[in-house]
Structure 1
Amino acid sequence: MTDMRALDIRSPRDGHPVGHLPTASEHDIAGAVLTAREVQPKWAATPAAERGAALRQAAGVLRAHADEVATVLEQETGRPVASAREGVLAGVSTLEQYAELGPVHRGRSLLGSWDAADFMVPEPRGVVVALTPWNDPVAVACGLIGAALVTGNAVVHKPSERCPHTGLLMGQLVAESFPDGVLQTLIGNGQVGARLAADQHVDVVAHVGGTATGRSILAATAKTGAKALLENGGNDALVIDADVDPKWAAAQAALGAFTNAGQLCTSVERIFVHEAVADEFLQALEAEARNWVAQPLVDVEHRKLVHAHVAEAVADGAEVLIGGEVPDGPGAFYPATVLTRCTPDMRVMRQETFGPVAPVCVVESFEEGLAEAVVDEHGLAATVLTGSMAHAQQAWRALPVGTVKVNAVFGGAPGGAAQPRRMSGTGFGYGPELLDEMTTVKVVHLGQAQPRRQAEADWRRTASASRAVSSST
């Protein structure tokens, strides 16, 4: 049964209570899914342009309340309010993007016989469950919710239990622009998410979050037949070639490892640097780390996990150049940390740490660094810093990940829609292709009916020919 205890949220900055919310009951969960099932056909029958207009209106409402949502997000997760507001506005832009793309999402015609029409038409899948994370909750939720709603699905959204106030506020604001029941937000812990994922009346389970949860969702949807759309994090590598400026490379590494306190799905998690530039790079990276003011992690429990990765690496022979200690005082702060003398078998190199930690392994050649980067069970993203076009070409072809970035740890054109691989998930999570994930395709063959009189005449001719053949034999 679902755990009915309230979610108590405390500030990761100083530990003060932010608030508490009751979790959804079994009745709430079943009722939300059935309501979504009931209202979805009418929403699907709404003209696509009207669905797009509703999403555009929702984007405007969210934009008008961006400061309010950002303040709540900062209180719950510790993300600086300016950065939190950027995340909210990124969500607004995503809603606006899907408001434009949804109405022009199309099928295609097929070449068949001259007297028939054949075509493939996209249809909404039905009820979508969106399970969204705490590290960038508004932007991620807007992507999944926006693409699902604009294509005619109904959505039941459960935000992370680490930022329920943010998720509830965002959900209420966006839902104002849609018919009742088309978008519902449920609050709860992992048990609520598991119950939603296992519901027989759900057609899609879209999840952004941890790998263990993603595996459980795959098991659940294998029984129900629902589609699983998953982004389960990564263990993104950074490979640094011998021909780049080590100070520039250090700035890139720091940006990738320390932004949002390392709590991004595409954060740099492991670094392989060529020995020719290793000493200068490490010196510069240590200096860069000093410029990053310590930020809180989402909560004390997560800080324990991050510090455990660091402590275990040190016990196995890694050296701390800077950071690596739990600071005194309230909150869940953790400093920018640089580790050297790391080896690929250390847990800090094998698993997603999801904190402001830059573990560095020195390699003898670019080929060795690339080979080590390839060895990983995840497949989200990776970055290569090199002045060699040949090495860049070699890298993007060899790395088994959804996104390869050359000479920039972050960046990319709007509308990119990479597919995570292996334990990082399945399906497109962004861009126009997400509309394809939220729809299914029906093939239609439209032939001509034969008029009754013509059919009778054809029958008589066939019968007469048959009698003639019989009499001749």
Structure 2
Amino acid sequence: MNGNFALTIDGRQVAGSGTFEVRDPATGAVVATAPAASADQLDAAVGAARKAFPGWAARSEADRKAVVANVADIIEAHAAELAELVTREQGKPLAGLGSQWEIGGAIAWARHTASLDLPMETIQDDAGGRVTLHRRPIGVVGSITPWNFPVMIAIWHVMPAILAGNTVVLKPSPNTPLATLLLGQLLQEALPPGVLNVIAGADGIGQAMADHKGIDKIVFTGSTTTGRKVMASGAANLKRLTLELGGNDAGIVLPDADLDAHIDKLFWGIFINNGQTCAALKRLYVHDSLYDAVCDRLVAYAANIVTGNGLEPDSRLGPVQNPMQFDRVKRLVEQARQAGARVLCGGEPAEGPGLFYPVTILADAYDGMDIVDEEQFGPAVPIIRFTDIEDVIARANASESGLGGSIWSRDLEKARALAARLECGSVWINNHGAIRPDAPFGGVKQSGIGLEFASLGLAEFTSVQVIHS
């Protein structure tokens, strides 16, 4: 693969002030050399976005919607190239719920975003006067994206921002910048210069974006620890924020759960993207009457899942994306083993090159273990036994996180009642993590601020102006 990757600033491809290597987590080999932006280049990108903002904001909503729809067409035309690049730098397989699926999701989200409206609302219109509420763009949006879904999350951030009339400076994770840099280059075909600028570099550039007084809003997806830093930095100029942060999602399997119908959804709710998903199921509470059956069914399902290089057609899970996360998963599993958890499958990293860690299922886990109390963000899940429903709801809600949760039961009325008691932004019944572009998504407690997706997510990229006449 060639190394001709560049920053996009004011519609032009620009070399970085330096470079850094991007490695394939499946082999350790260098995929390509990425450009590293300097502080001056960040200033140039922000300046280009500020210059482009008035003209872009003045465009009609219909015009901007057509541009966003065109973005979806451009991504679709380059889907194979983008998917292979995501697999090489992120590790996920091309097939299954992998990079082709991610690019398809990016296309679907862009198309749905293009259909959204934020119409004027009339509060009063009578002999006493007229009061109307209008949504106005905020200005320059800084987007900082993570390494787990580099293209799809970029689309989640950028498309509603530009549809609302904002301009954007986008910075991908230094672990997975390549597909995002290519995406920025491709989308210049649809966008006026300066509307979307893409820079890359170490985490310090993201911090500089949070500090930058020329950026009016930050949208960030990543860890809660980093989200707090972004929030603190943005206080200097009262930046608007959308923060989608870490989760430690609990799933609760009730005694009447239909394992025959739902074991596949239970498995993929846990292990989608190798568990490297904010809204994956991270701790599984199972009623004592079904505990052994759930353990056995998950182990049997895992036995048929191939973990390997994402370019191999049979692979359904790939490597852990980076050494820091790989070491974290190893540490948490080993701590759980030493604390008495039984390793039902997996539990030992594969030999040879690449950051391969097998699907790991831990029985006899309990609250107080780090792997239960902390987000592992990898291919390992603790299964915790319960007998009392009131107790398990309290245990599920004891976490500082509140992104997602799930209830597994044949009794939908009972499941919905229990779902309403979970302290999280999204709850699924007999499923987990099934986000969709027409349903708002966001966390409570330490899992974030604000919403993404649908009209409520679009509104996050606007300010309100009320006209009294």
TM-score (norm 2): 0.91
After superposition, the C-alpha distances for 1:232-271 in whole angstroms (9 at most, x for unaligned) are 1211111011112445554433221222211111111001
Root mean square deviation of aligned Cα = 1.7
Shifted more, 400-409 versus 115-124: the winner is 115-124
1:119 aligns with: 132
> Which residue identity is paired with 1:94?
W
- Residues in 2 aligned to 1:246 and 1:109: alpha-carbon distance in whole angstroms: 50
- Residues in 2 aligned to 1:71 and 1:309: alpha-carbon distance in whole angstroms: 31
Does structure 1 residue 99 correspond to structure 2 residue 109?
no
Q: Does the 8 Å contact 1:12/1:76 carry over to 2? A: yes
SS of the residue 2:36 aligns to: coil
- Residues in 1 aligned to 2:94 and 2:73: alpha-carbon distance in whole angstroms: 20
After superposition, the C-alpha distances for 1:378-437 in whole angstroms (9 at most, x for unaligned) are 110001101234531332121010101011124366500033111110111112211100
2:178 aligns with: 165
Give the alignment partner of residue 65 of structure 2, picking from 52, 56, 59.
52
- Residues in 2 aligned to 1:391 and 1:274: alpha-carbon distance in whole angstroms: 15
Q: Does the 8 Å contact 1:242/1:366 carry over to 2? A: no
1:306 aligns with: 329
Shifted more, 405-414 versus 73-82: the winner is 405-414
Compared CA separation, residues 206 and 291, structure 1 to 2 (3 A): same
- Residues in 1 aligned to 2:258 and 2:413: alpha-carbon distance in whole angstroms: 18
1:437 aligns with: 460
Shift of the alpha carbon at 1:100? Answer: 2.1
Shifted more, 85-94 versus 405-414: the winner is 405-414
> Which residue identity is paired with 2:241?
A
1:359 aligns with: 382
Give the alignment partner of residue 85 of structure 1, picking from 100, 118, 133.
100
- Residues in 1 aligned to 2:413 and 2:61: alpha-carbon distance in whole angstroms: 46
- Structure 1 vs Structure 2: percent identity of aligned residues? 32
Compared CA separation, residues 249 and 340, structure 1 to 2 (3 A): farther
Give the number of equivalent residue pairs. 442
- Residues in 2 aligned to 1:383 and 1:430: alpha-carbon distance in whole angstroms: 20
Q: Does the 8 Å contact 2:452/2:458 carry over to 1? A: no
1:265 aligns with: 278
Aligned runs of 1:351-430 on 2, under 5 Å?
351-411=374-434, 414-430=437-453
1:9 aligns with: 22
1:339 aligns with: 362
- Residues in 1 aligned to 2:168 and 2:437: alpha-carbon distance in whole angstroms: 25
After superposition, the C-alpha distances for 1:139-162 in whole angstroms (9 at most, x for unaligned) are 111121000001110000001111
> Which residue identity is paired with 1:66?
A
Does structure 1 residue 199 correspond to structure 2 residue 212?
yes
Aligned runs of 1:202-281 on 2, under 5 Å?
202-246=215-259, 248=261, 250-281=263-294
Shift of the alpha carbon at 1:91? Answer: 0.8
1:174 aligns with: 187
Q: Does the 8 Å contact 2:299/2:344 carry over to 1? A: yes
SS of the residue 1:296 aligns to: coil
SS of the residue 1:341 aligns to: strand
Q: Does the 8 Å contact 1:58/1:175 carry over to 2? A: no
- Residues in 2 aligned to 1:421 and 1:7: alpha-carbon distance in whole angstroms: 36
Q: Does the 8 Å contact 2:266/2:431 carry over to 1? A: no
Shift of the alpha carbon at 1:211? Answer: 1.2
- Residues in 2 aligned to 1:421 and 1:322: alpha-carbon distance in whole angstroms: 33
Structure number with higher helix proportion: 1
Does structure 1 residue 131 correspond to structure 2 residue 144?
yes
- Residues in 1 aligned to 2:412 and 2:70: alpha-carbon distance in whole angstroms: 45
SS of the residue 2:218 aligns to: strand
TM-score (norm 1): 0.90
SS of the residue 1:432 aligns to: helix
Larger Rg: 1
Compared CA separation, residues 368 and 183, structure 1 to 2 (3 A): same
Compared CA separation, residues 396 and 418, structure 1 to 2 (3 A): same
Compared CA separation, residues 130 and 145, structure 1 to 2 (3 A): same
SS of the residue 1:7 aligns to: strand
Aligned runs of 1:288-327 on 2, under 5 Å?
288-294=301-307, 295-327=318-350
- Residues in 2 aligned to 1:115 and 1:282: alpha-carbon distance in whole angstroms: 67
Does structure 1 residue 349 correspond to structure 2 residue 372?
yes
- Residues in 2 aligned to 1:130 and 1:304: alpha-carbon distance in whole angstroms: 28
- Residues in 2 aligned to 1:322 and 1:4: alpha-carbon distance in whole angstroms: 47
SS of the residue 1:334 aligns to: coil
Give the alignment partner of residue 18 of structure 1, picking from 28, 31, 49.
31
1:464 aligns with: none
SS of the residue 2:362 aligns to: strand
**Which runs of no fewer than 5 residues in structure 1 stay unpaired?**
447-473
- Residues in 2 aligned to 1:91 and 1:413: alpha-carbon distance in whole angstroms: 11
Compared CA separation, residues 174 and 113, structure 1 to 2 (3 A): same
